[in-house]
Chains A and B, each alone.
Chain A
Amino acid sequence: MRLIPRLLTLLALLAPCAAHAELKVVATLPDLAAIAREIGGPHVTVTALAPPSQDPHYVDPRPNLILPLNRADLLIVNGLELEVGWLPPLQVAARNGRIQTGGDGYFDASSVVRRLGVPQGKVDRAMGDIHPGGNPHFLLDPRAARPIVAALATRMGKLDPKQADRYRANAADFDRRLAAFADTQRARFAALPAARRRVVAYHASLIYLFDWLGLDEAETVEPRPGIAPTPAHVARVLSLMKKDGIRAVVQEAYYPKKTSETLARLAGGQVVVLPGGTPDGTAYLAHLEGIADALYAALAAPEAE
């Protein structure tokens, strides 16, 4: 008959766990979700809206995405108009005051990042898809992630004060790993000869990556951001690649590959296809490491001839 008191004790011990409400975080992009998981650990549930394989500019605003937004305590967005084509109607339809723009449950990662590619002067659509606030693809640089991690940990602590210390500690640890990783890779690429550190990108989405790794973007395959490659422009890119011995064309998996492959073949180089976002079940740093390794392998490869 001593079983019952024991069971009761067990229940009493379990009760606080069951009663503890997890912080519900929704991130627009898989990279942001991966970062939030590093900070939150087991104390948060994190949902990413965009699949890693999809171009974050063009995600379908499927109504099932409204459900996690409706229940979210915190919405993390990339910002700089990256999600402008699909997030706003979902945010309105979510009927959740906490995650509306400007609220405590709305975190715009771009607000704490050092921005690159901020257009000077008037922005005109004839220039292509220009983001007036600057290039939004900063999540490809672990150094850009550092201020995001710090600010996000503060915000999560504010929404969930009981776990604030844990979030801060996790963030500090993650920040150390980000900094060390960024430095190691930067030094690794710096050891390459300068001529090998010139690359061609498909879309102007890699400038933060190149800035981190000390690479020089000689040209983009698209003549202007978001405008499909034209024969005249591609011919110009090819002659530049041949003249300067540029042998890598870098692009995300969600862009068309034919033009890049042709260019790389004719220039005696190769295409480096990067995964779009952190794949499901992969950590943010592992994702960036895969990118750095693929790039390094292509740039350090011996001459094709």
Chain B
Amino acid sequence: MRRLLATPLLLVALGASPLSAAEPEDAPVELTPEELEALEAGLDADAASAPPPADAPPAPHTHAGPVGNSNPDISLILDTALAVFDGPPRQTGAHDPQATGFTLQQLEMHIAANVDPYFRLEANLVFAEFGVEVEEAYGTTLALPADLQLRAGQMLTRFGRINPTHPHAWSFVDQPLVNGKLFGGEGSRGLGVELSWLAPLPWFVELVGSATHATGACCARSFYGADDLGVESPADLLYTAAVKQFFALSREWSVAWGLSGQFGPNATGNGNRTEIYGTDLFIHFRPTHSPDRACVSLQIEALYRTRQTPGDRLEDFGGYGQLVWTIDPTWELGARHEYVAGVADDPLDPEWDADRQRSTVQATFYPSHFSRLRLQGSRAFGDAVTWSGMLALELLIGAHGAHSF
């Protein structure tokens, strides 16, 4: 079998291609069948004498059968919710409950595995009621020199803290208003490439830069958004830059601080640009001796946006702060407050001309690590008052990769 496969391969590799046929002096010397056979014999011998894998474990005596298989980790996460609103919902997240009644927030299939010693592939396929979407599908390098790492494909940009994460890693049922308003219902996401570098410093400093398509109402609405204006020059791409730092103050106290910026063209006219700047702070306290794995975390993000429009410059800002207390493995409480400025005559959000605020509290029950039931209540106010209540169920099956801190 090996011989049958090897012969055509050798012929393809050594045989004359159309190009070389046109240039007889460069054509490889025709090999005789004997020579081909000798080459094959050499290959076979090499394969047979290949050294056994280094450091092979000692011959198993009573070892159990091998656990491993080469299947990727596959998991399926169902997020579904029942919501009640007493006024206009005005939610900004695509996975948020948007109206009174039942919502299929998402059915996310996560598939991941190392490709080889050099790449890892991760894909998040999101099934909604009426279709499937490749939310993320990217490769990550594992062994680039100089502490560099490259990601390529469709991915959430690493702007801030909450944007690169998925709904099931969130502490609330819905997405912060500011993320939906500035980036889009699905957060900042696009097709492109990202390079990051781990700085050789005594504390954790990571520099991230990415270039992605500036289109998509779901995921780049402050830029080209729904208008696909194509890419004619590098100025038509959306650039994201971030600095992420982490300070381990002790085994119990952690502080993460990030600065992010996004720069790209917008759809209001030739040469008009949008810039978004943000900062994020995460303070986490977990007593390492707590048998209940209790922890408290405070997360704050603030974003500022400036847009050039024909004859004008629009500026707005917004942010949120959230406090989450994990009491024990089964209970968690959270509170969040948000503020998002309104802009008069905003072509993107013509009705969002006044400042909006929203206060939210949640209580979550985790029957196990793989299921959770979250009850959430919020009051949105500013231009109009809306009370809402949500009860969300999340179920996870399969092997799901761990989350970053």
Contacts and interface: CB of A to CB of B under 8 A. Distances in A.
B57 interface: yes
Contacts of B202: 67
Contacts of B90: none
B401 interface: yes
A41 interface: no
A104 B405 contact: no
B18 interface: no
Given A66-B198, A89-B401, A134-B67, A96 B55 contact: no
Interface in B229-250: 244, 246-248
B103 interface: no
A125 B291 contact: no
B234 to A, nearest CB: 26
B293 A102 contact: no
B292 interface: yes
B104 to A, nearest CB: 22
Contacts of A158: 54-55
B210 to A, nearest CB: 16
B121 to A, nearest CB: 12
Given A100-B142, A114-B61, A89 B404 contact: yes
A155 B54 CA distance: 9
Contacts of A256: 291-292, 328
B292 to A, nearest CB: 6
Interface in B387-405: 397, 399, 401-405
Interface in B246-262: 246-248, 251, 254, 256
Interface residues on B, range: 35 or more
Interface stretch (B36-44, B144-152, B217-225, B265-273): B144-152
Nearest to A97: B143
A254 to B, nearest CB: 6
A279 interface: no
B291 A257 contact: yes
Contacts of A266: none
Given A66-B204, A88-B401, A101 B67 contact: no
B63 interface: yes
B405 A61 contact: yes
A75 to B, nearest CB: 13
A114 B58 CA distance: 11
B55 A154 contact: yes
Interface string B279-320: 000001010110111000000000000000000000000000
Contacts of B369: 129, 226
A114 B248 contact: no
Contacts of B293: 55, 58
Interface in B194-215: 198, 202-204, 206
Given A100-B114, A101-B114, A134-B67, A84 B402 contact: yes
A103 B329 CA distance: 35
Interface string A48-61: 00010111001011
Interface in B337-377: 368-370
Interface residues of A, number: 54
Interface in A118-171: 118, 125, 129, 132-134, 147, 150-151, 154-155, 158
Nearest to B203: A64
Contacts of A132: 67
B70 to A, nearest CB: 11
Nearest to A257: B291
Interface in B139-163: 140, 142-144, 147-149
Given A92-B120, A95-B149, A114 B63 contact: yes
Contacts of A45: none
A104 B140 contact: no
A102 B117 contact: yes
Contacts of B403: 61, 89
A51 B54 contact: no
Given A70-B147, A95-B147, A60 B329 contact: no
B62 interface: yes
B291 A255 contact: yes
A60 to B, nearest CB: 6
Contact of A63 (B54, B62, B65, B405): B405
A290 interface: no
Nearest to B286: A60
Contact of B329 (A70, A87, A228): A228
Contact of B62 (A61, A80, A100, A114): A114
Given A89-B401, A97-B143, A134-B64, 15 more contacts: A63-B204, A63-B244, A63-B404, A63-B405, A64-B203, A64-B248, A89-B404, A93-B149, A100-B117, A112-B57, A114-B61, A125-B370, A227-B368, A256-B291, A256-B292
29 contacts: A51-B288, A63-B206, A63-B244, A63-B246, A63-B405, A64-B203, A64-B246, A64-B247, A64-B248, A66-B198, A67-B203, A84-B402, A87-B402, A92-B140, A95-B144, A97-B142, A97-B143, A100-B114, A100-B117, A103-B117, A114-B61, A114-B62, A114-B63, A133-B64, A150-B58, A151-B57, A151-B58, A228-B329, A256-B328
